[in-house]
């Protein structure tokens, strides 16, 4: 892991510290998560093809995990 130093405005630093306490993790972990999400690198829970098509529905990308769980559940008739 590479160490990087950044400067934050006081308000943002306070918000990051508050979030770290809330989650029970370090400030660095909050920063890593936020950066990964912003840069779309948080793919651990995402499928690489999600969002590449147009279903005509406005909620599909937002709700893809729920939709896939519903469609791929073990008891679904195939």
Which pLDDT score is estimated for 61? 72
Q: Are residues 38 and 65 in the same domain?
A: no
Residue 2 lies in a domain: no
Q: Are residues 18 and 29 in the same domain?
A: yes
pLDDT in tens, 5-55: 999 999 999 999 999 999 999 999 999 999 988 888 866 555 566 556 666
Q: Are residues 67 and 77 in the same domain?
A: yes
Q: What total of structural domains would you count in the chain? A: 2
* The three-state (H, E, C) secondary structure of 17-78, written as one string: HHHHHHHCCCHHHHHHHHHHHHCCCCHHHCCCCCCCCCCCCCCCCCCHHHHHHHHCCCCCCC
Print the domain residue range for 24.
7-45
């Amino acid at each position: 892991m590479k160490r990087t130093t950044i400067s934050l405005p006081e308000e943002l630093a306070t918000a990051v510290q508050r979030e770290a306490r809330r989650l029970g993790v370090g400030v660095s972990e909050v920063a890593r998560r936020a950066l990964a999400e912003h840069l779309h690198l948080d793919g651990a829970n995402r499928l690489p093809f999600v969002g590449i098509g147009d279903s005509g529905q406005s909620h599909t990308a937002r709700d893809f995990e729920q939709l896939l769980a519903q469609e791929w559940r073990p008891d679904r008739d195939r």
